[in-house]
Structure 1
Amino acid sequence: MKKLEDLFNLKGKTALISGGAGYLGNEISYTLAELGATVILASRDFEKCKNKCIEIKERLGPHADAIPMELNLMNKDSISETFTEIEEKFGGLDILVNNAWSGKKNSFESISDQDWEYDIAMSLNSVFYCIKKALPGLKQKKGIILNITSMYGHVAPDYRIYDGIQFTNPPSYGAAKAGVIQFTKYLASFLSPYDIRVNCLSPGAFPHEITQQNQTFIDQLSAKNPMNRIGKPHEIKGAVALLCSDASSYMTGQHLCVDGGWSIW
């Protein structure tokens, strides 16, 4: 019988977190590092990733292993180069966390063709490209894929709580995240012969600090779920630990919501 501590143990594992130094990516990176994994923080902002890696090592001690890498998800060559380097250095990944996001706030009226295409490329197409490049190593190591999606990939934003476009969730974001949820289920089926597990985690609502400065909006957002509050970044750590470890060894193709109960109403 395996002990609980063994099921959550990631020592000897290598994990890449795209956007690993971001608002929620930071907590994902810390979670996997705390469980013993070598974590690769990858984004276009190499310096931000580098500084976060230094912070992880300082806080977790000499046994923590955090590595920064530059990864431009809007550039196929960059994706290819990053995963080739990982293959050469580590023999591939044990864990791939597709988390990164960037884009503009938009309503349906304000969104341009270019904004739509950018968001789909960033939030959906890049997930496909990264998994394709990571697949040889994941096959060899019988790895884990965790896609970070969103509550707005399975429920619609309530237009009544959005005033103008400053805080509005763009339609392209929800469409892309819905695509990732379905893609997760597809991959869970078709990669199961290789013992690769694929799940997704939908946070909501976890507004960034700048958004939290608008108390009226935050109050309205909080009232949308039974817990009547927004999420704190560390509150995704338990779900991440579960889905990226052997603690979830009989779970694949699942969509786990960490949303304060938002989606039950």
Structure 2
Amino acid sequence: MKLISCWQSYCIGGSTTLNLDELFTLKGKIALVTGGAGYLGTEISATLAELGATVIVASRNYNKCQKKCEEIQKSLPKGGDLFPLTLDLMNKVSIDHCFKKIEDQFGSLDILVNNAWSGNKNSFETITDQDWEYDIDMSLNSVFYCTKKAVKGLIEKKGVILNVTSMYGHVAPDYRIYDGKEFTNPPSYGAAKAGVIQFSKYLASFLSPHGIRVNCLSPGPFPHEQTQENKEFIQKLASKNPMNRIGKAYEIKGAVALLCTNASSYMTGQNICVDGGWAVW
């Protein structure tokens, strides 16, 4: 009886609490998703919109962004609005223009999701200096540039930064499953993603006085649909995983919802792995 009384006292007369609906909502929030029309980017954009945010879906391909915004909007029984925007992360002028448009049209961001990636498949033997520099610029430097542009507004809003990294930012690829160049994971990719994980921890520390939270989401094996057509490679990939399968794109939605809402209000500087247990053995 004493234990029950203590628990009742806490629930009724103790600390203020929030229910799950209040924790998992983004109503009134403004979010930017770089690479928001891509394979995983689409699921990220849809998640934020479904939770009520106004989502800016940005990439180099404006028409693709516009199409994805329309598709997501139609699929939502309710939720926020989505807007396409051109953003070339390899062009600082484009980055400047993107954030100026966001400021003019929406004001400051509440949520920044650094998700975009593009690059060539390379082994250590085949990668060129240009390939390396491109991947570092795309996967690491762009995170720095966008964060610098967004940080003033994020400070005003006590916002959230979610950096999408990779399992290969903290473990190495197994060379035995990568035969040839077609599906080989380039050394620049893991190096850049590892840098993003460390940069996120740095930001979590130094932006914490401003009330900004910064976390990483590290997807495991989520190969693009075109890659999935190679059944032999997919089986090799799946066999590396305790769950013996690759991930389905929608399976990152739960982690995105957690890390971008107040459901994770006491989490910062973390790297959440959605990888089917890839690194446990």
CA drift at 1:64:
3.4
Work out whether residues 51 and 80 of structure 2, in 8 Å CA contact, stay in contact via their aligned partners in 1: no
What residue is the counterpart of 1:74 in the other structure?
Answer: 90
1:115 correspondence with 2:131: yes
Amino acid at match of 1:148: V
What residue is the counterpart of 2:251 in the other structure?
Answer: 235
**After superposition, what is the alpha-carbon deviation per residue over 1:16-50, rounded to whole angstroms, capped at 9, x for unaligned?**
00010100000001100000000000000000000
Work out whether residues 56 and 64 of structure 1, in 8 Å CA contact, stay in contact via their aligned partners in 2: no
What residue is the counterpart of 2:39 in the other structure?
Answer: 23
Would you identify which runs of 4 or more consecutive aligned residues in structure 1 move more than 4 Å? none
What residue is the counterpart of 2:192 in the other structure?
Answer: 176
Pick from 209, 215, 228 the counterpart of residue 212 of structure 1.
228
* Count of residues in correspondence between the two structures: 265
Paired residue secondary structure (1:237): helix
Q: Distance in 2 between matches of 1:185 and 1:31?
A: 24
**After superposition, what is the alpha-carbon deviation per residue over 1:27-80, rounded to whole angstroms, capped at 9, x for unaligned?**
001100000000000000000000111112212157530000000000111111
1:197 correspondence with 2:213: yes
1:143 correspondence with 2:153: no
Gaps of 5+ in 2: 1-16
Q: Distance in 2 between matches of 1:201 and 1:56?
A: 22
Q: How does 1:242-257 map to 2 (within 5 A)?
A: 242-257=258-273
Pick from 152, 156, 179 the counterpart of residue 163 of structure 1.
179
CA drift at 1:214:
1.1
1:3 correspondence with 2:19: yes
Larger C-alpha radius of gyration, 1 or 2? 2
Amino acid at match of 1:204: G
Q: How does 1:17-96 map to 2 (within 5 A)?
A: 17-61=33-77, 64-96=80-112
Gaps of 5+ in 1: none
In percent, how many aligned pairs have the same letter?
73
Paired residue secondary structure (2:237): helix
Q: Distance in 2 between matches of 1:62 and 1:207?
A: 29
Work out whether residues 120 and 176 of structure 1, in 8 Å CA contact, stay in contact via their aligned partners in 2: yes
What residue is the counterpart of 2:9 in the other structure?
Answer: none
CA drift at 1:131:
0.2
Structure 1 residues 89-98 or 32-41, which shifts more? 89-98
What residue is the counterpart of 1:105 in the other structure?
Answer: 121
What residue is the counterpart of 1:124 in the other structure?
Answer: 140
Q: Distance in 1 between matches of 2:102 and 2:228?
A: 37
Q: Distance in 1 between matches of 2:71 and 2:229?
A: 26
Paired residue secondary structure (2:272): strand
Amino acid at match of 1:124: L
CA drift at 1:88:
2.1
Amino acid at match of 1:120: I
Amino acid at match of 1:250: Y
Normalised TM-score (structure 2):
0.93
Q: Distance in 2 between matches of 1:55 and 1:224?
A: 34
Q: Distance in 2 between matches of 1:63 and 1:212?
A: 31
Amino acid at match of 1:165: K
CA drift at 1:85:
1.6
Paired residue secondary structure (1:74): coil
Normalised TM-score (structure 1):
0.98
Q: Distance in 1 between matches of 2:209 and 2:106?
A: 23
**After superposition, what is the alpha-carbon deviation per residue over 1:101-124, rounded to whole angstroms, capped at 9, x for unaligned?**
000000000000000000000000
CA drift at 1:220:
0.9
